[in-house]
Amino acid sequence: MILTWLISLLLFAAPAPAPQAEEDVDVAGIIFEHIGDEYEWHILTWGDKHVILHLPVIVHGSTGWHVFSSKHLEHGESYEGLVIDPEKGKIVEVDSGKRPFDISITKNVLSLMMSSLLLLVVVLLTARWYKKHDVLNEAPTGIAALMEPLVMMVHDIARENIGEEDYRRYSPYLCMAFLWILFNNFLGIMPFFPGGANLTGNIAITLVLALCTFFTVNLTGTKHYYKDIFWPDVPGFLKPIMPIIEVFSAFMKPVSLTVRLFANMLAGHIMILCMVCIIFIMAKYGAVLTGSMTVVSVLFGIFLDALECLVAFIQAYVFTTLSSIYIGLARAHGE
């Protein structure tokens, strides 16, 4: 953990110029630069050299399709009538200032592709071990030993919250949702490539995950589930009111799933970055104060890093548990 923090300290500190005595550190700029999405991926700085992965830009605007490297848009330069808006961080047309249809491979998109591919490899390697070994007489080893307790935990959550009759139908979805969130949470904490992207701290990503649960719940719900929504067993004067409340509740469930995961992961990234910035904020106050605050910053940073690892697991667990509860309520038969 200490090694991880020291590496993150070097990586986060390297791109930032040494603060002068009369200059203030732009803490907000540093934080939003690291938690935001970009058209390039800054991997590290070695001396005066910046190792940057320039990603493909794919947009469709008033002049048609444009496909080129994001290197052409460095330092606020325009290319083919397009430029990156410094305030929004998105590509806009120079003439009209409007955003084109943008399907570029950004930092978050590339991180999503790589994490999904890595997770697929891990799952296939686990399946391969079980295919080649007698699971009744051999204990799992390697990746299989790591994956088995996680899969069995989700399996038990599904059985407890959905019921014996239906839980096997939904276990694969819950298992993949848990593993994907957990995998990307830990990759987001890693300060070196291919980690460091703020994927689960992006509300668009968590919204898609929540919508997957929303459609799973509402497209597979039983007649009793919909009866309780539109014609519940309540006194007559409440029957016109309860459907409105129940429909509102159904739409608030994905909202709660979205915001909970997004807010917790984003807050963790911001707190760790703030701890790093303390070192540079104190740099202009002399060596003694800078040195003492550096020690404090590193110690608190290590603590927050460890706490974020715990939060990464808890958030994946909470999302999966709540999803299984929502599915279980939708599969109720009334008995």
Q: pTM of the predicted model, to two decimals?
A: 0.84
Phi, psi of 136, rounded to the nearest 5 degrees: -80, -20
Q: 89 — phi, psi (to 5°)?
A: 75, 15
The pLDDT score that the predictor gives to residue 12 is: 40
* 125's tokens: 């390697």
Contact between residue 126 and residue 138 where contact means Cβ atoms under 8 Å apart: no
**Which class for 4: exposed (0-12), middle (13-18), buried (19 or more C-beta within 10 A)?**
middle
What are the DSSP calls for 211-236, one per residue?
A: HHHHHHHHHS--HHHHHHHHS-SS-G
106: enclosing H helix or E strand: none
Q: What is the pLDDT of residue 293?
A: 82
Computed over every residue of the chain, the mean pLDDT equals 85
The confidence score (pLDDT) of residue 335 equals 53
Q: Which helix (H) or strand (E) holds 280?
A: helix 242-281
- The pLDDT, as a whole number, for residue 279 is 81
The band of 151, judged by pLDDT with boundaries at 50, 70 and 90, is: very high
- Helix, strand, coil distribution of the chain in percent, nearest 5: 65, 10, 25
Q: What is the pLDDT of residue 8?
A: 46
Please say if the pLDDT value at position 194 is more than 90. Answer: no
Scan for tokens 């309860």, then name that residue: 242
What was the pLDDT predicted at 62?
Answer: 87
Contact 44, 192 (CB under 8 A): yes
Q: Name the DSSP letter for residue 19.
A: P
1 band by pLDDT with thresholds 50, 70 and 90: very low
Mean pLDDT of 84-109: 89
d(C-alpha 144, C-alpha 302), whole Å? 29
Query: What's residue 13's pLDDT?
Result: 41
Percentage of the chain exceeding pLDDT 90: 42
Mean pLDDT computed over 43-51: 81
Radius of gyration for the alpha carbons in the chain, expressed in angstroms and rounded = 24
Lowest-pLDDT range of 60-69, 106-115, 185-194? 185-194
Q: What is the pLDDT of residue 288?
A: 78
Asked if the model's pLDDT at residue 7 lies above 60, the reply is no
Residue 301 or 112, more confident? 112
pLDDT of 14 reads 40
The residue ranking higher by pLDDT, 64 or 238, is: 64
Instruction: Give the model's pLDDT for residue 9.
Output: 42
Question: Which pLDDT tens digit goes with each residue over 207-241?
Answer: 999 999 999 999 988 888 888 888 888 788 888 88
Please give the residue that has the higher pLDDT: either 276 or 187: 187
322 in Cβ contact with 157 (< 8 Å): no
Distance between CA 265 and CA 262 in Å, rounded?
6
Percent of the chain past pLDDT 70, that is, above it, reads 92
Q: How many CA atoms lie within 13 A of 281 on its CB side?
A: 12
- pLDDT score of 109: 93
Cα gap 190→1, rounded to integer Å: 10
pLDDT of residue 242: 87
Judged against a pLDDT cut of 50, whether residue 11 lies above it is answered with no
Question: How many Å apart are CA 10 and CA 218, to the nearest integer?
Answer: 48
pLDDT in tens, 267-318: 888 888 888 888 878 777 777 777 888 888 888 888 888 888 999 999 999 9
Say what the pLDDT of residue 334 is: 56
Q: What is the pLDDT of residues 20-34, one digit of tens each?
A: 444 567 777 777 777
